[in-house]
Amino acid sequence: MAINKNAKAEAKKENTMQYIIKVTRAKENANRPNSYRFSMNVNGIDINGCNYITYTDRSGEQKSFISFPQYKGSDDKYYNHCYFKISDDDFNIIEQQIEAIINKE
């Protein structure tokens, strides 16, 4: 019996969660250049204390990432309060909304 890889890929796409993301506020971190602190609403749930950080890696390429709110455990490790898997499309949406809020100020 042959495995239909296209059918598996389509099923996987159908099982992915669709997020409605709205960045509610954003401001530049005074202590860190190219770093922004922001809050967002995801499917009706508010997430406060996220960070959007832009940096240059060793090869000279400009990269960015989103850090979720964290707390420090008794073992001196940091743990996320909340987390959801961000697709490339969702990342771009968040990035554009942060930029729009920062440029409006």
Q: Which of 73, 68, 71, 70 is nearest to 53 (CA)?
A: 68
Phi, psi of 38 (to 5 degrees): -150, 160
The number of C-alpha atoms within 13 Å of 54 and in the hemisphere containing its C-beta is 12
What's the pTM value of the predicted model, to 2 decimals? 0.77
Q: Which residues pair with 41 in a beta bridge?
A: 22, 46
CA distance 102 to 105: 6
Element at 5 (helix H, strand E)? helix 5-15
Q: What is the mean pLDDT of the chain?
A: 87
What pLDDT does 81 receive? 86
Q: What are 57-71's pLDDT values in tens digits?
A: 999 999 999 999 999
